[in-house]
Amino acid sequence: MKAIALLGGPKSEWPTNLQAHLRQKRADYFLIGVDRGALHLIEMGLVPDICVGDFDSLTEQELSLLESKCAEIRYSTPIKDLTDSELMLQTALIDYQVDSLRIYGATGGRLDHMLVNLFTFLKPEFRQYAEQVELVDRNNTVQYLLPGSHEIADRGSKYFGVAVLSSADKLSITGAKYELAPTDVLVPTVYGSNEFLAQASCQIAFETGLVAIIYSAD
Amino acid sequence: MKAIALLGGPKSEWPTNLQAHLRQKRADYFLIGVDRGALHLIEMGLVPDICVGDFDSLTEQELSLLESKCAEIRYSTPIKDLTDSELMLQTALIDYQVDSLRIYGATGGRLDHMLVNLFTFLKPEFRQYAEQVELVDRNNTVQYLLPGSHEIADRGSKYFGVAVLSSADKLSITGAKYELAPTDVLVPTVYGSNEFLAQASCQIAFETGLVAIIYSAD
């Protein structure tokens, strides 16, 4: 089962065609609304299969609307071990065992929220699911890679960046405009503004750590 | 000497009153334009003291305009050891030895750019300058802390987050809504959505690593 989640980040960072994209083939995926993202889905005429959050930014009327529409709501508490988006990940990846999860609404607005989302897959309980997830916004798609040798393909954006999120042993980039010979990367580091060549794919390899590939358009 | 730099991130992420703010007391600070940020300054009627970048996103006419207006331009090359924003940091902090540097235009648009900016102060050559720098956008102000005990004060935004950018020994948060007893943090981790209490300041302490404080408004 494929899943799509909408977090509460500002609409200005959504891909331009998000509503049309979500309405298409609605039966094909499991839909999760997180916090204000759940309300945004309702406003787009889409009923989430499940809603997750503490909903503290919603008015009473807005929360009532959600509760009247959605069959299942999971409430997090303000003092909690899991953030709202982590509760969403647990719900989707562990409880519902979805095969893939695309997340919208994770960027823009509050930077602490965005970084929480970006760093989540460094946590031992979520790390194993990293490769099933992607974050998508107006300009970027983020894909996670676990150690190994990977071929990544051009997705139509001009640039890509390789973000080492903690550390990585023997990271290499081969077959791209800017190559990297095997390098031990000791702290979070971004090799940005790289480009695919004519063959439209390249190889990323590393032995330890977690890497995010960021496909970006200007 | 205080300095202000404008990077090339989208205007939608600028603080709402940026132009008025920059026009005020223009004589009081050193102004740096980076890449398209330099052009944005010219368009606002502000002549940068120095421009930095590879300017590859500018047309010939736009670059000519910059060259006719600005006394000093430092060109970076596409294949380079330093990113445009790192060349700006070297220029401001090392060559011009400014006391403080506020950076606008570092967020929004391309996520690889934003993360390059965020992680830059993990590099040995820039680390010592981290506490002189802040990143400011529409919703967030980011301040860096080096190891030690720090009092941080409410800046009028509702929330703050403590972002460990690599690792940190014995990180503690005291006097805030959510406290943290001394904890060894092994991977990049964000303690987000914290709040100041009535006394409007709190204490952050840690013994190793680099921490970013993110002051955020919804």
Q: Provide the pLDDT for residue A80.
A: 63
Is A183 an 8 Å CB contact of chain B? no
Residue A201 Cα to chain centre, angstroms: 22
Place of tokens 């960021």: A214
B126 band by pLDDT with thresholds 50, 70 and 90: very high
A143 contacts on B by Cβ (under 8 Å): none
Average pLDDT over residues B124-132: 97
Residue A159 to residue B189, Cβ atoms within 8 A: no
B15 touches chain A (CB under 8 A): no
Tell me: pLDDT of B158 over 90: no
pLDDT in tens, B136-155: 999 999 999 999 999 999 99
More confident residue, A57 or B166: B166
Whether the complex's predicted ipTM surpasses the cut of 0.90: yes
| CA-closest candidate to residue B170, choices B148, B138, B193 | B148
**Which residues 89-128 of chain B have a CB within 8 Å of chain A?**
107-113, 115-116, 119, 122-123
Asked if A165's CB is within 8 angstroms of B110's CB, the reply is no
**Closest Cα in chain A to B187:** A166
CA distances from B207 to A166, B83, B133, B146, B172 (A): 19, 29, 20, 9, 10
Contact B107/A109, CB-based, under 8 Å?
Answer: no
For residue B119, pLDDT beyond 90:
yes
CA distances from B29 to B3, B24, B85, B128, B208 (A): 5, 10, 19, 22, 33
Per-residue pLDDT, averaged over B43-48, amounts to 96
Q: How far is A208 from chain B (nearest CA, A)?
A: 13
Chain B residue numbers with beta carbons less than 8 Å from the beta carbon of A192 are 83, 110, 112-113, 115-116
- Residue B142 to residue A109, Cβ atoms within 8 A: no
Does B180 contact chain A (CB < 8 Å)?
Answer: no
Cα dist from A33 to A85, A91, A188, B109, whole Å: 10, 11, 30, 24
Per-residue pLDDT tens for B187-216?
Answer: 999 999 999 998 899 999 999 999 999 999
CA-based nearest distance B114→chain A, Å: 10
> Are A161 and B112 within 8 A, CB to CB?
yes
- Residues of chain B with C-beta less than 8 angstroms from the C-beta of A189: 119, 122
One-letter amino acid of B159: Y
Question: A214, B83: Cβ pair inside 8 Å?
Answer: no
pLDDT of residue A116: 93
Do the Cβ atoms of A192 and B116 come within 8 Å?
yes
B111·A111 Cβ contact <8 A = no
Q: Give the pLDDT confidence score for residue A158 in this predicted structure.
A: 87
Of A12, A119, A193, the CB nearest to B190: A119
- Residue B78, pLDDT above cutoff 70: no
Taking CA B117 as the corner, what is the angle to CA B157 and CA B176, rounded to the nearest 5 degrees?
Answer: 30
**pLDDT score at A199:** 85
Within chain B, where are the H helices? 18-23, 36-43, 60-69, 84-89, 111-119, 124-127
C-alpha A114 chain-centroid distance: 10
Q: Sheet containing B180-185: give its strands across.
A: B148-153, B201-206, B168-174, B180-185
d(Cα A169, Cα A209) in Å, to the nearest integer?
Answer: 7
Would the pLDDT of B80 be above 70?
A: no
pLDDT 10s digit of each residue in chain A, 218 long?
999 999 999 999 999 999 999 999 899 999 999 999 999 999 999 999 999 999 988 999 999 999 999 999 999 876 667 889 999 999 999 999 999 999 999 999 999 999 999 999 999 999 999 999 999 999 999 999 999 999 999 999 989 999 999 999 999 999 999 999 999 999 999 999 999 998 899 999 999 999 999 999 98
Our CA-based measurement puts residue A9 at a distance from the nearest CA of chain B, in whole angstroms, of 10
* pLDDT confidence of residue B25: 87
Residue that is written with structure tokens 């081969």 in the block: A174
